[in-house]
Structure 1
Amino acid sequence: MAKGTDDYIFFMCLEGAATFSHLGREASIEAGQAILLSSSDPHVIERAMSRHLFITIPKAALGPMAANADAALMTPMSCVGEKFLLLTSYVRLLMQEPNLAASELRWLAAKHIQDLVAVVIGATQDATEVAAGRGIRAARLRAIKADIESNLASGDVGSDALAGRHRVSARYIRKLFEGEGTSLSQFVLGRRLALVCSKLSDLRLAHRTIGAIAFDAGFGDLSTFNHAFRRHFGMTPSEARQSAAVHRASLEPGGRTGHARQSATGVAAA
């Protein structure tokens, strides 16, 4: 690769192996290892059936945070440990984020990734403190939210269970959600209600009772569920299902336009 921009390239090998020629040196890494390169100096990368992830970060942004970044160039690093796990999981989750096109979200995501890479390479004390309150916090919160989404039905989404899986304290998890102006229980409730609402609109699940759908989403008490659903969506679960059915019917040939407008408004509120 020819000489290019003035960036650092953080290259992580996920599968296979890769060999690098850069700065008059050669180095090889395999799955589970990473290496730091400089885009302002020519480099050659040979990949043998590898799957990899690389991140480019302006030197002007990373340099002040990781004072030893230049010293780390062309030095293979082991991608083992919590820091690397946070970085890779955060990047993968961002790649699945449909709203990342928004410029503000891109800027925040870039800052968070810079924080995480700096910590992995060796951040200064000041940068570590900044990362703990910004990049690391964002990565943990996103990972915890993804965990909750995957385990809504199991009910194993309390602070203690999440703390055990993410190796942090239950208090830390509660503080993460408080920082967003909500609570863990409110977030879980909101996601469960959204899951139920989505399933009530699914024609393939029309044969299932509302109670069964609620239980599948992790609700253990129908009275509590019905009250929470009505408070959140302004309608009962039965009304939400009926509204979705009317909306589907209105989209069929000969459907009534007026009903379509009324139903669409109801579903949007959900």
Structure 2
Amino acid sequence: MDWSALLDRPFQQRAIVRGLPGLGVVIGTQTSTGFVARRTSELITAGTDDLVLTILQTGRFMQRQLGRETELAPGEAILGSGSDVGEVMLQPNSSFVALSLPRHAMIPVLAYIQDRVGASLPASSEPLRLLTSYVSNVLCGAAPVTSPILQQRVVSHVYDLVALALSRSPGINSLHGGTAAARLNAIKSDILAHLGDGSLSESMIASRHGITARYIRLLFQVEETTFSDFVRNARLVRAHRILTDPCLSERTITSIAYEVGFCDLSHFNRLFRKTYGARPSEIRPCKGARVLCSTRPGEER
């Protein structure tokens, strides 16, 4: 990004940066100048195609990208794309939290992720409130998360909450009412919490939530997907996170496949290759690589 002060004063920014495998977090406060940050075509060529979810805490924030101009109110959020030209503007005396997420980690769960770029998420969104609370309590505190296993779980939780916040629940609200939207979010949370159960099924989830399996199918149809697709893709995403984590390189592919809920290793291998274009063994970090398995401490700059 090309950064510049919004006011005719020396650029000033205070921020805390956290880095976890597959997740970047910036907690920023502007005290006097505000800023404009632009992503040009040259920066896209040399940069990343990560997705950035910005949550405005106080003040005013505006984003221009893909022909959309959106201004946020406190508590609202917006998704930005690192692979598209755009700019953001933060007014003086404003604060925000920005989450940087790999695009490949979100696509299997949200095939329509590009459609969500530039769309604001309302402060009334329950998944967004849960995400904001989780990030504030776990990632914005003074003590960083240093355990590799805890880091993996924290990143997984953030991915899951982002996916819920960005899901097309508004469509459910208009077709079936707010109760259905809340129910689908609860079903998704239940699925994500029990991915490792190879016997997970529509009937099992329906029984736990006091509804019919057919109703579950209807809820997922509104989002143009199915229960089976959601479960399969969520398992593949979780497996990919573990396989690409250098700190977990000693884990066997078989144990990872079973941990995320696949009961047939050959079936897992076929689905993984179809989704990611490579076998599980081909995306693993080099065994000879030296890796420091700890998060970067919070730093102010």
TM-score interval, normalised by the smaller of the two chains = 0.3 to 0.5
Larger Rg: 1
Greater fraction strand: 2
Normalising by the residue count of structure 2, what TM-score does the alignment of the two structures yield? 0.41
Greater fraction helix: 1
